């Protein structure tokens, strides 16, 4: 949730730290701060609010040094304030700490340390780390951190630097949230996420849980949880740093909506042979025997990825005939799920860092499931946990509201269905592939109509509530459309199965409640149409997303958003795009902070 970054090398650290924080700001934006040792002093600059506030405060300050740490915060313990902003010092002012995560036993540690005379000035759990490291520090920072982590319970990635180190050094520790090292030319980096490093190096090392790392001018060293020196593989990232820029768009979200045709193409490119119908993945291999042994597939995810899982259930059940269960990560881990040895559990996560999804995957693995991951971030925690990975190749997604990650997850789920079908000895007919190849073009067609959504938003941006309805695989699209609208525009919106309206929500309908109805395909089109008529009969306003012309709706809609038609299983991938654009333009019209909505963060690395 917070973003941490560290630099050690010959360049001036402040601009590099600020640039790294800029790229990590999507992880949290309640406050930001940096620390740089200069002439035997720890120079700390912090500011409440977004990174721009810190940049203002830094203006005109010369902070020459060779290393430093930076932090952007999503508050867990203690309100967003200057006092609770990181970096945090120990009570003796010898060292500074930045931290992402939660120290669960901080209350007892704080009490003990306070009893030993260590003062606390913030409400954070992080200050406990600072004082603990200091209490163990007698010249060897790595050993002090090792002793500290032995006392910590919870999930953390943190980094420390100390004035009394014999040479410039940064020590980092990881247990849960990610921590990545970057190897530059005579310089070392450390960050929560490789996007902070892309402008400087593509060679990164993902630390494992329990690892400690020490960065010095000479390079880096890593120790595992048993204190043994270990070599972690160097991963070369092929993400283009330009992909992490806005590229002329006003917001990352809009850019990422526009990225979708290419991202969808990248997700299936090289994996589906459109002539032979063969589907294969580099990092996921299941034998026919393993697939035949799957009694049930468990899809585990949170938020938008959970909506992808709901659509995936339709895809996988239809393509494979294997029953699929969909769970929220946060629910699955605390119930006693029925998993048979050999079942397939698939964690779906854009970031690969979501704590609840990770724990749910662990719960499934403990019960004997084979684990797969559908993920966008190479080397992230869910990919390390899984036996096989299906990368979505969407490229960096920076906007907090997920867009291209969602549509590429849907393509990945569809391809997984085709793959399993093949392993079960069932044919992958041409009809199953034809529309997949056509998807990027169809989505490009919707995105090209961007202006219509801007205009539509003009009619609706003042509404205070919305209802989204759909049936079958488009019910999760209604949920996703509602989530997009509420998270970036703060308008209350609810997704509902269209057929369930008459069992309650229809009581809400009046002329002030816009209803977005998804009416595509054949299977349930007439049924949704009837539900739209029921809304109209009660003075409700209907916006229809449809693959027909307005006449085919028989006057059932006040506004019609036309989308191209593809097969029923792939249609949700098209249908969600107008809902993303609609939410975006409504939020812009309301003057909302689209890329960094209040109270949210991109990666939810705490429970």
The residues that are catalytic are 2, 602
* Nearest distance in Å: CB 484, ligand M6R: 7
User: Judged by CB under 6 A, which of 85, 159, 361, 401 binds ligand M6R?
Assistant: 401
Can you list the alpha helix ranges (DSSP code H) found in 116-204? 126-136, 141-149
Of 596 and 603, CB closest to ligand M6R: 603
Closest-CA residue to 605 (of 69, 18, 26): 26
Of 7 and 584, CB closest to ligand M6R: 584
Please tell me whether residue 1 binds ligand M6R under the rule CB under 6 A: no
Closest-CA residue to 130 (of 67, 139, 5, 121): 121
Closest-CA residue to 299 (of 257, 331, 277): 331
Give the pairing of strands 212-216 and 219-223: antiparallel
* Nearest distance in Å: CB 573, ligand M6R: 16
Please tell me whether residue 357 binds ligand M6R under the rule CB under 6 A: yes
Structure tokens at 175: 């247990």
Alpha-carbon distance of 267 to 436, in angstroms, equals 11
Of 67 and 306, CB closest to ligand M6R: 306
Of 403 and 546, CB closest to ligand M6R: 403
Closest-CA residue to 602 (of 85, 192, 125): 192
Closest-CA residue to 245 (of 234, 255, 235): 255
- Kindly indicate which of the ranges 217-225, 395-403, 411-419, 508-516 contains the residues binding ligand M6R, using the contact rule CB under 6 A: 395-403
Please tell me whether residue 381 binds ligand M6R under the rule CB under 6 A: no
Structure tokens at 570: 């792939």
Structure tokens at 524: 């349930």
User: Judged by CB under 6 A, which of 131, 244, 305, 575 binds ligand M6R?
Assistant: 305
- Kindly indicate which of the ranges 6-14, 34-42, 110-118, 297-305 contains the residues binding ligand M6R, using the contact rule CB under 6 A: 297-305
- Kindly indicate which of the ranges 127-135, 152-160, 265-273, 394-402 contains the residues binding ligand M6R, using the contact rule CB under 6 A: 394-402
* Nearest distance in Å: CB 354, ligand M6R: 3
Please tell me whether residue 380 binds ligand M6R under the rule CB under 6 A: no
User: Judged by CB under 6 A, which of 215, 361, 400, 529 binds ligand M6R?
Assistant: 400
Closest-CA residue to 557 (of 590, 530, 594, 581): 530
* Nearest distance in Å: CB 239, ligand M6R: 16
- Kindly indicate which of the ranges 57-65, 301-309, 362-370, 465-473 contains the residues binding ligand M6R, using the contact rule CB under 6 A: 301-309
- As beta bridge partners, residue 467 has 494, 515
Alpha-carbon distance of 515 to 524, in angstroms, equals 18
Of 222 and 583, CB closest to ligand M6R: 583
Q: Which of the 8 DSSP states describes residue 548?
A: S
Of 44 and 415, CB closest to ligand M6R: 415
Residue that has been written with the tokens 């997850």 in this structure:
409
* Nearest distance in Å: CB 248, ligand M6R: 23
Kindly write out the interface string for residues 470-509 of this chain, putting x where it contacts ligand M6R by CB under 6 A and - elsewhere.
-----------------x----------------------
Decide: helix, strand or coil at residue 299: strand
Alpha-carbon distance of 375 to 373, in angstroms, equals 6
Interaxial angle between packed helices 450-460 and 571-589, expressed in degrees from 0 to 180 and rounded to the nearest 10: 50
- Kindly indicate which of the ranges 28-36, 208-216, 296-304, 465-473 contains the residues binding ligand M6R, using the contact rule CB under 6 A: 296-304
- Output the residue with the shortest Cβ distance to ligand M6R: 303
E-only strand ranges, 259-364:
297-301, 324-328, 344-349
User: Judged by CB under 6 A, which of 303, 396, 470, 481 binds ligand M6R?
Assistant: 303
Please tell me whether residue 596 binds ligand M6R under the rule CB under 6 A: no
Of 1 and 132, CB closest to ligand M6R: 1
First CA to last CA across the chain, in angstroms? 11
- Kindly indicate which of the ranges 124-132, 142-150, 191-199, 299-307 contains the residues binding ligand M6R, using the contact rule CB under 6 A: 299-307
* Nearest distance in Å: CB 480, ligand M6R: 8
Of 85 and 443, CB closest to ligand M6R: 443
User: Judged by CB under 6 A, which of 100, 165, 304, 383 binds ligand M6R?
Assistant: 304
Kindly write out the interface string for residues 242-281 of this chain, putting x where it contacts ligand M6R by CB under 6 A and - elsewhere.
----------------------------------------
Decide: helix, strand or coil at residue 468: strand
* Nearest distance in Å: CB 351, ligand M6R: 3
How far is C-alpha 282 from the geometric centre of its chain's CA atoms? 23
Decide: helix, strand or coil at residue 64: coil
Residues 393, 396, 399, 400: is their CA dihedral positive or negative?
A: positive
Of 398 and 457, CB closest to ligand M6R: 398
Alpha-carbon distance of 460 to 338, in angstroms, equals 45
* Nearest distance in Å: CB 299, ligand M6R: 12
Question: Are 280 and 294 within 8 A, CB to CB?
Answer: no
Of 244 and 354, CB closest to ligand M6R: 354
Residues 317-356 within binding reach of ligand M6R (CB under 6 A): 349-351, 354
Q: Considering all CA atoms of the chain, what is the largest pairwise distance in Å, rounded to the nearest integer?
A: 80
User: Judged by CB under 6 A, which of 16, 302, 360, 569 binds ligand M6R?
Assistant: 302
Sheet strands side by side (includes 514-519): 492-497, 465-470, 514-519, 541-546, 559-562
CA distances from 555 to 498, 534, 537, 563 (A): 18, 12, 11, 18
* Nearest distance in Å: CB 349, ligand M6R: 3
Closest-CA residue to 144 (of 163, 122, 129): 129
User: Judged by CB under 6 A, which of 126, 260, 402, 580 binds ligand M6R?
Assistant: 402
Of 31 and 305, CB closest to ligand M6R: 305
Closest-CA residue to 204 (of 168, 155, 238): 238
* Nearest distance in Å: CB 195, ligand M6R: 13
Please report, as ranges, the residues that interact with ligand M6R according to CB under 6 A: 302-305, 349-351, 354, 357, 400-402, 487, 603-604
């Amino acid at each position: 949730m917070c973003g941490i970054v560290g630099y050690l090398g010959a360049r001036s650290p402040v601009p590099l730290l600020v640039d790294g924080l800029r790229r990590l700001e999507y992880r949290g934006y309640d406050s930001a701060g940096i620390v740089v040792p200069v002439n035997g002093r720890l120079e700390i600059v912090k500011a409440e609010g977004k990174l721009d506030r810190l940049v203002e405060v830094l203006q005109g300050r010369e902070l020459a040094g060779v290393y430093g740490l930076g932090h952007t915060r999503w508050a867990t313990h203690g309100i967003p304030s200057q006092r609770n902003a990181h970096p945090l010092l120990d009570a003796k002012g010898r060292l500074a700490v930045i931290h992402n995560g939660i120290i669960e036993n901080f209350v007892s540690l704080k009490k003990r340390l306070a009893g030993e005379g260590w003062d606390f000035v913030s409400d954070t759990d992080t200050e406990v780390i600072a004082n603990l490291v200091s209490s163990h520090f007698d010249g060897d920072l790595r050993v002090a951190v090792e002793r500290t982590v032995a006392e910590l319970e919870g999930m953390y990635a943190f980094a420390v630097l100390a004035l009394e180190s014999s040479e410039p050094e940064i020590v980092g520790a990881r247990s849960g949230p990610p921590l990545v090292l970057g190897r530059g030319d005579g310089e070392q980096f450390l960050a929560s996420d490789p996007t902070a490093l892309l402008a400087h190096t593509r060679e990164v090392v993902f630390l494992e849980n329990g690892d400690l790392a020490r960065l010095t001018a000479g390079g880096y060293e890593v120790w595992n949880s048993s204190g043994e020196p270990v070599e972690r593989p160097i991963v070369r990232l092929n993400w283009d740093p330009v992909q992490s820029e806005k590229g002329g768009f006003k917001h990352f979200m809009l850019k990422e909506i526009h990225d979708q045709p290419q991202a969808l193409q990248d997700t299936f490119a090289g994996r589906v042979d459109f002539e032979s119908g063969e589907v294969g993945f580099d990092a996921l291999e299941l034998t026919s025997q393993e697939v035949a042994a799957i009694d049930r597939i468990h899809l585990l995810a949170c938020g938008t990825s959970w909506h992808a899982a709901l659509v995936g259930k339709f895809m996988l059940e239809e393509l494979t005939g294997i029953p699929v269960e969909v769970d929220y990560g946060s629910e699955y881990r605390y119930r006693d799920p029925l998993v048979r040895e050999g079942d397939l559990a698939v964690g779906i996560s854009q970031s690969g860092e979501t704590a609840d999804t990770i724990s749910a995957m662990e719960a499934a693995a403990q019960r004997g499931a084979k684990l797969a991951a559908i993920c966008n971030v190479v080397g992230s925690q869910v990919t390390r946990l899984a036996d096989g990975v299906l990368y979505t190749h969407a490229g960096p997604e920076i906007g907090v509201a997920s867009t291209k990650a969602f549509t590429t997850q849907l393509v990945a789920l569809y391809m997984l269905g085709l793959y399993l079908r093949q392993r079960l000895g069932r044919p992958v007919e041409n009809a199953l592939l034809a529309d997949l190849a056509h998807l990027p073009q169809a989505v490009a067609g919707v995105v090209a109509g961007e202006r219509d959504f801007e205009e539509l938003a003009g009619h609706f941006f003042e509404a205070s509530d919305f209802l989204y309805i759909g049936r079958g695989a488009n019910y999760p699209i209604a949920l996703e459309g509602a989530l997009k609208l509420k998270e970036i525009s703060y308008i209350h919106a609810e997704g509902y199965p269209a057929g369930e309206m008459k069992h309650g929500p229809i009581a809400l309908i009046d002329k002030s409640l816009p209803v977005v109805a998804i009416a595509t395909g054949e299977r349930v089109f007439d049924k949704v149409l009837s539900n739209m008529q029921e809304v109209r009969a009660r003075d409700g306003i209907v916006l229809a997303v449809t693959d027909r012309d307005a006449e085919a709706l028989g006057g059932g809609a006040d506004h019609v958003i036309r989308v191209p038609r593809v097969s029923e299983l792939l249609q949700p991938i098209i249908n969600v795009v107008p809902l993303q654009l609609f939410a975006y333009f409504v939020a812009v019209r309301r003057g909302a902070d689209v890329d960094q909505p209040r109270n949210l963060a991109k990666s939810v690395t705490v429970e």
